[in-house]
Amino acid sequence: MTWSFPAGFLFGAELRVHATFVLLLLWITVSSFLDGGVGAGLFDGLFVIALFASIVAHEIGHLWVARQYNVQAKRVTLLPIGGVPDADMVGDTPVQDIAIALAGPSVSLGLWIVLSIFESAPAPSNVFSTPNADTNYLHLLALANLYLALFNLLPAFPMDGGRILRALLVRNMVVDEANRIATMAGQFIGFGIGLWGLIDGTAGLVLVALFIFLSSTLASPVAVDRNPFEDISIPRSLLNTRFESLSIHDTIETAVAISGQTSQQDFPVFDEDRFIGFLTRDSLAVHMNQTGNRTEVGDYVTTNAPIVQHSSSIEDVRRALEEQDTRLAAVATATGDMIGYVTLEKIKEFQKANRERL
Ligand SMILES: [Zn+2]
C-alpha cells in the first residue's frame, strides 16, 4: 500500500500524489468554509492547489538537472512538504547528486523572490496555520515557497539537504555508513521538530515532523539500502595467488633476498603446512638493511591475520581486517587450503572505484 495515486508524467518520471495532499486540501477547504463561508473555502482551496503547483515546480528543478546528467527517476511522490524521488535518482558522482539536490530548493527560492516582488501585504505568523481569506494570497504563496526551500535544505534525509549531506559523507566512507548517518540526522531533526511543535503547541510543526517520517518511509529503499559489497565475494583481481611463502625457520636475510628478486612485499609464513601469519612489508622494511640478519622469520610474524573463505563477501573481509587492526588476510578454500591473500589497501581501492556505480 503506497497511499498515493498517479497524476501523469514529468520528464519521464511518473508523478504520484500522496493521499495526505488530498486530505490536506479537503481539511483546509472544509475547515475554512465552515469558519468563513464559500469565499474563505475557495481561497484556501486555491492556496493548496497553488502550493501543489509550487512543489511540482520544485520537482521540475530536480528532474531537469538530473536529466542533464542522464539520470532518470522512475517516480516522484508529492507530499505537502515537497516531493520524494525514488531511490534511483542518484547521479554518477557526489557532485552530480549535490547539483540535483540543490536544483529543487533553487527553484523554490526563485519563486519566493518573484512572488515577493509582486506582493505587498504584512506577513502572517505561520504559513502552516489555516490561511485567512483576508491575508495576501501572493505573500502567503511566496512564504510557502521560502519554507519549501529552507525546509528541504535541512540536512535530514530524505530531504534535499540530507541528500547533500550523504553526497558529502560518501567521499569518506562506504555508502551504507553515509546513508545511515544521513538517515539518523533525518530522524533526529524530525523528532526535534515534532517535540518543538508539541511543546509549543504548534500543530503545523507536528504535521511537518510527521511528513518527515512519512518521507523517510517512502525513500526507505535508499535509506536502508544494503551495502552492495556485502554481496560481492573477493574478486580474483584482488587476490594474490602467485606468491612465495616462508617457513618460520627461514631467516630475515632469506626473506630480503626473495623480496629483492620477486618484488613481493608481504610473505605468508608457514610452520610445516600450517599457515601462521604474515611477515609484512613494514616489518621487513625495518630489518631490510641488516644484511646477514639471521633472525628467524617466526620471530617477526604477525599472528592476528584473519583467515577468510574465498566465498566471503568483500565487506566481511574488510570488517575482519579492521577488527584485527591488520592489513593482510589469508584466503582459503572451504576445506582450509590457503589459496592466496588479500590486502586492505586493495579492498579499499576496489570499493572506492566501485561504490558510485553499485
Ligand atoms: Zn527537493
Q: Give me ligand 1 centre to Cα 196, in Å.
A: 23
Q: Give me ligand 1 centre to Cα 192, in Å.
A: 21
Q: Give me ligand 1 centre to Cα 105, in Å.
A: 6
Q: Give me ligand 1 centre to Cα 58, in Å.
A: 6
Provide the pLDDT for residue 329: 92
Q: Give me ligand 1 centre to Cα 82, in Å.
A: 6
Average pLDDT over residues 29-34: 77
CB 332 within 8 Å of CB 309: yes
Provide the pLDDT for residue 6: 80
Provide the pLDDT for residue 46: 82
* pTM score, whole prediction: 0.56
Cβ neighbours around 95 below 10 Å, total: 12
Average pLDDT over residues 294-310: 85
Average pLDDT over residues 333-356: 82
Provide the pLDDT for residue 300: 85
Average pLDDT over residues 133-154: 80
Half-sphere exposure of 192 (CA within 13 A, CB side): 9
Whether the pLDDT of residue 325 is over 90: the answer is no
Half-sphere exposure of 29 (CA within 13 A, CB side): 12
Whether the pLDDT of residue 358 is over 60: the answer is no
Average pLDDT over residues 182-208: 83
Mean residue pLDDT of the chain comes to 80
Instruction: Say which residues have a Cβ less than 8 Å from residue 142's Cβ, sequence separation at least 6.
Output: 111, 112, 115, 116, 119
Q: Give me ligand 1 centre to Cα 153, in Å.
A: 8
CATH fold of 236-354, please?
CBS-domain (3.10.580)
Instruction: Say which residues have a Cβ less than 8 Å from residue 326's Cβ, sequence separation at least 6.
Output: 302, 304, 305, 306, 344
Q: Give me ligand 1 centre to Cα 83, in Å.
A: 6
Provide the pLDDT for residue 108: 93
pLDDT confidence tier of residue 330, bands split at 50, 70 and 90: very high
Owner of C-alpha cell 523572490:
113
Q: Give me ligand 1 centre to Cα 152, in Å.
A: 6
Average pLDDT over residues 155-168: 83
Q: Give me ligand 1 centre to Cα 291, in Å.
A: 65
Q: Give me ligand 1 centre to Cα 103, in Å.
A: 7
Q: What is the DSSP string of 243-311?
A: ---EETTSBHHHHHHHHHHH----EEEEETTEEEEEE-HHHHHHHTT-TT---BGGGT--S---EEETT
Q: Give me ligand 1 centre to Cα 197, in Å.
A: 23
Q: Give me ligand 1 centre to Cα 216, in Å.
A: 13
Provide the pLDDT for residue 88: 59
Out of 19-28, 35-44, 234-243, 267-276, pick the least confident.
35-44
Cell representation of residue 169: 559523507
Q: Give me ligand 1 centre to Cα 163, in Å.
A: 9
Segment holding 79, helix H or strand E: strand 75-79
Q: Give me ligand 1 centre to Cα 60, in Å.
A: 9
- Phi, psi for residue 147 in degrees, rounded to 5: -60, -40
Q: Give me ligand 1 centre to Cα 85, in Å.
A: 8
Q: Give me ligand 1 centre to Cα 346, in Å.
A: 37
pLDDT digits (tens, 9 = 90+) for 222-266: 434 446 666 677 777 788 888 889 998 988 888 888 888 887 889
Percent of the chain with pLDDT over 70: 85
Cell representation of residue 278: 604474515
Half-sphere exposure of 175 (CA within 13 A, CB side): 21
CB 286 within 8 Å of CB 295: no
pLDDT confidence tier of residue 75, bands split at 50, 70 and 90: confident
CB 84 within 8 Å of CB 218: yes
Provide the pLDDT for residue 222: 45
Q: What residues does each domain of the chain span?
A: 4-230, 236-354
CB 327 within 8 Å of CB 344: yes
How far apart are alpha carbons 44 and 56 in whole angstroms?
Answer: 18
Sheet containing strand 338-343, strands side by side: 307-309, 328-332, 338-343
Segment holding 21, helix H or strand E: helix 19-68
How far apart are alpha carbons 20 and 2 in whole angstroms?
Answer: 11
Whether the pLDDT of residue 123 is over 60: the answer is no
pLDDT digits (tens, 9 = 90+) for 168-181: 887 666 667 777 78
